[in-house]
Amino acid sequence: MNEHPIKVVVAKPGLDGHDRGAKVVARALVEAGMEVVYLGLRQTPESIVAAAVEEDADAIGLSVLSGAHMPHFTKVKALMDTEGIGDRLLTGGGIIPTKDQETLSALGVGRLFGPGDDPSTIAEYIKERVYARRAAERN
Amino acid sequence: MAESMRSSRGPSLTPQLWERFLGGERRACAQVITKVENDPDAVPEIRDRLSGRLGRAIRIGITGPPGVGKSTLTSALARGLADGGNRVGIVAVDPSSPFTGGAFMGDRIRMDALVGDDRVFMRSLASRAGQGGLAPSTAGVADVLEAFGMDRILIETVGVGQAELDVMACADIVVLVLQPSTGDAIQSLKSGIIEAADVVVVNKADLPGVEMLLQSLRFAFSLGAGRPGTNATPILATSAQASEGIGELVAELESQASDLVDSGRHREMRRARLENEIRRAIQTHLWASLERAVGASAKIRRHAEELTLSGGSPYPFIRRACAATQVCQTKEEAWQ
Ligand SMILES: Nc1nc2c(ncn2[C@@H]2O[C@H](COP(=O)(O)OP(=O)(O)OP(=O)(O)O)[C@@H](O)[C@H]2O)c(=O)[nH]1
Ligand SMILES: [Mg+2]
């Protein structure tokens, strides 16, 4: 099967801080052969999901280091569902306690990565999930 | 023949998808674009579906060296054109890495002002195997956007060292964007892009050096640069970041757009593009038959390998191959 490149929207939601984390992830995904639509700083859940819809992205990757991961991931996931892209992967990184991870996972959010994780493992994870979804769609 | 013109990959284009597309659902438009981008076999069916919905929109290419403000300007232009009553599609092309195949697409960073504006539809494309600052699917994606109801389609090319000419092939109007103090004027004169431009924009007019660039451009044009057989190429200054000079640029583009339509040149350009599309599709089909019949590519490679060693002429092989390859079954009636 000749898979076309995976398209990922990468953003840093919220008004605080810098987008170094998001850039590191974006670079790692490009290295892994993905097409990354980079939105950068100060994104709202609405702007992120609207971009993912227009780009028909396979996945959304959020970088949330501020501690506000719960509202951001929850809101983006909810909007993805209402906008009809609930089948697409939502993943990302931050400093996220196990308990929060479990809560988000129950909402359908994908695996979340911490500062200690090698960015290439995020790429591997996205590949696995996106190829599985595409295979299911073909059948 | 039919197999090569039918879709084989990925979820198919269902009647429901087309219904949603015609109903103006943005996600459906995005999904059709994905199909055009990734599945060449699906293109014929998609083209059939789009028929009757193409021919009106004006396609505007935005080209120029890296970082001159193409995306910022495209965003400001999209708003200006939308305020004038247009629906606007944007296709922004970014380079794919030849090593990994990945692409970092950052044009949306400069298009924040368009968030939530449903008069505008923006799509990023990685250049993939495309040459000349465009993706192979650029024109096809523009077709989808036009059929979706867009009146103006802005095509931002890759910011390549020298502004690229290929955008002429798929745009009705070409805007060349430059910025002060980069020596762009001299560079572009060398590359011949000046002849391709219908409008030259000096962006970042808030920075020093604008006057100098404007002067050297005016000088170059007074020496007869510019697209042959057209009026003097307009040179405008903008500050896209501050939305300055955008009104004038929009007015210039809209005036060129109505000239193109009124003079019949727009129809002429469409005819030339269609001619190309047809010729290319038939060439592809003929080549595919040759591949199936004799494995043409592999044979050519083997001959090239031998010739590299022997230093011989390729023509004995070419003559033999051509003499043995005749299009003898075609029926002229079918070409009417
Ligand atoms: N001073 C000034 N800076 C501007 C202006 N327009 C854009 N910029 C800045 O120029 C930089 C590049 O802008 P982009 O719009 O991304 O340029 P681009 O030509 O699309 O870049 P590539 O797509 O990477 O080739 C950004 O930092 C913009 O903020 C302007 O009118 N004045
Ligand atoms: Mg750009």
CB atoms within 10 A of CB A27: 16
Nearest to B116 by CA among B206, B53, B26: B26
B186 and B133, same structural domain? yes
* Within a domain: A121: yes
Could you tell me if B212 and B218 are in contact, meaning their C-beta atoms sit under 8 angstroms apart?
Answer: no
B28 CA distance to ligand 1 centroid (A)? 31
- Regarding whether B126 and B28 lie in a shared domain, the answer is no
Instruction: Examine the domain organization and report whether B199 and B304 are in the same domain.
Output: no
> What 8-state DSSP symbol labels residue A10?
E
| Rounded distance between C-alpha atoms, residue B61 and residue B224, angstroms | 23
Residue B84, CA distances (Å) to B146, B151, B157, B253 in order: 17, 11, 24, 12
**Single-letter code of the amino acid located at A14:** G
Q: What is the pLDDT of residue B315?
A: 97
For residues B142 and A131, give the distance between their C-alpha atoms in angstroms, rounded to a whole number. Answer: 28
Is B336 contained in some domain? no
Question: CA–CA separation, B188 vs B245, rounded Å?
Answer: 22
Confirm whether B164 is domain-assigned: yes
DSSP class of B232: P
What's the CATH code of the domain at B133? 3.40.50.300
pLDDT of residue A18: 82
Residue B25's pLDDT is 97
Which residue among A33, A40, A54 places its CB closest to the CB of B26? A54
Most informative mutation of B75, B110, B249 for ligand 1 (most atoms within 8 A of CB) = B110
Pair (B46, B60) in one structural domain: no
Number of domains, chain B: 3
Is the CB of residue B135 less than 8 Å from the CB of residue B34?
A: no
Look at residue B162 in the predicted model and tell me its pLDDT. Answer: 57
Residue A2 sits at the chain B interface (C-beta within 8 Å): yes
Please give the DSSP secondary-structure letter assigned to residue B223: T
Q: Specify the pLDDT at position B3.
A: 41
Residue of B nearest to A4 (CA): B38
Tell me the pLDDT band of B158, cut-offs 50, 70 and 90. Answer: very high
Residues of chain A positioned with their CB less than 8 A from the CB of B102: 5, 29-36
Q: What share of chain B is helix, strand, coil (3-state, %, to 5)?
A: 50, 15, 35
Same domain, B154 and B188: yes
Per the structure, how many domains does chain A have? 1
* Radius of gyration for the alpha carbons in chain B, expressed in angstroms and rounded: 22
Is B24 an interface residue toward A (CB < 8 Å)? no
- pLDDT-derived band at B6 (thresholds 50, 70, 90) equals very low
Asked if the structure places residue B335 within a domain, the reply is: no
Domain that holds residue A109: 7-138
Q: What is the CA radius of gyration of chain A?
A: 14
CB-based pocket (< 6 A), ligand 1: B 66-72, 107, 110, 159, 203-204, 206-207, 239-241
Is the CB of residue A83 less than 8 Å away from at least one CB of chain B? yes
CATH number at residue A15: 3.40.50.280
Q: Is the pTM of this model over 0.80?
A: yes
Residue B187's pLDDT is 61
* d(C-alpha A85, C-alpha B174), whole Å: 35
- Select from A30, A83, A137 the Cβ nearest to the Cβ of B103: A30
ipTM confidence score: 0.96
pLDDT tens track of chain A, all 139 residues? Answer: 468 999 999 999 988 778 888 999 999 999 999 999 999 888 999 999 999 999 999 999 999 988 889 999 999 999 999 999 999 999 999 999 999 999 999 999 999 999 889 989 999 999 999 999 999 998 8
pLDDT at position B7: 41
**Structural domain contains residue B168:** yes
Note whether residue A2 is domain-resident.
no
**Distance of residue B20 Cα from the nearest chain A Cα, in angstroms:** 12
Q: pLDDT (tens digit, 9 = 90+) per residue, B89-132? A: 999 999 999 999 999 999 999 999 999 999 999 999 999 988 77
Domain stops at, among B10, B34, B51? B51
pLDDT at residue A17 in the model: 78
How far, in Å, CA of B227 to CA of B218, rounded?
A: 14
The range of the structural domain enclosing residue B319 comes to: 272-330
Q: How far is the CA of B94 from the centre of ligand 1 (A)?
A: 14
pLDDT digits (tens, 9 = 90+) for B59-77: 999 998 889 999 999 999 9
